[in-house]
A = this chain, B = another copy of it.
Amino acid sequence: MENHFKFFTSIQVRFAETDAQGHVFFGNYFTYYDVALTEYLKAIGCGYQEMLADGVDFYYVEATCQYKDRAFFDEVLHIHARIGKIGDTSFHFEFSVVEENSGRLIATGRIVAVAVDHNSRKPITVPQKLRKAVQAFEGTASS
């Protein structure tokens, strides 16, 4: 599945991110997803800071993670990311986490975001700039 992703960012597991079960605390994957989507947006030419400058902000309305295997201190994780679906005011980030050396699938996930006006905080149509950037990067096969 993760081989359909065209983008990933690498994150090395920090000691602070492990817990007393000896592996990454389950809640920390959402931080990893947040890092990956930030880098993904830059990679496709629609960085979050630019969006903000255009008056567009995002709110997350749902976040989900499926845990497939454990990840450990100092392991390097590839956080694959893409925007897999764009609706009227919302869009879906999709994730897949793979450990670099072993190729173990660690987790999959999704964040549903809504575009909002930075001032009024009201939902707005997903900007054309983002739609086009996703299409250009992911290609027609992804839509």
A16 with B19, Cβ < 8 A, contacts A26-B63, A64-B64 known: yes
**Among A29-37, A79-87, A88-96, the stretch in contact with B:** A29-37
Q: Mark A18-59, 1 if CB is under 8 A from B, else 0.
A: 111111011110110011001000000000110000000101
Q: Determine whether A6 belongs to the interface, using a CB cutoff of 8 Å to chain B.
A: no
- CB neighbours (8 Å) of A21 from chain B are 57
Q: Please give the count of copies of this chain that the complex contains.
A: 4
How many interface residues does A have (CB within 8 Å)? Answer: 34
- A28 nearest CB neighbor, chain B only: B27
A:96-118 near B, CB below 8 Å: none
- A47 nearest CB neighbor, chain B only: B74
- CB neighbours (8 Å) of A27 from chain B are 16, 27-28, 30-31, 34, 63
A63 touches B65 (CB 8 A): yes
A31 touches B16 (CB 8 A): yes
CB distance from A77 to the nearest CB of B (A): 14
Q: Determine whether A142 belongs to the interface, using a CB cutoff of 8 Å to chain B.
A: no
Residues of A within 8 A of B (CB): 12, 14-16, 18-23, 25-28, 30-31, 34-35, 38, 48-49, 57, 59-67, 72-74
The 9 closest A-B CB pairs, nearest first, are A27-B30, A18-B20, A64-B64, A16-B31, A20-B22, A26-B60, A62-B66, A27-B31, A18-B19
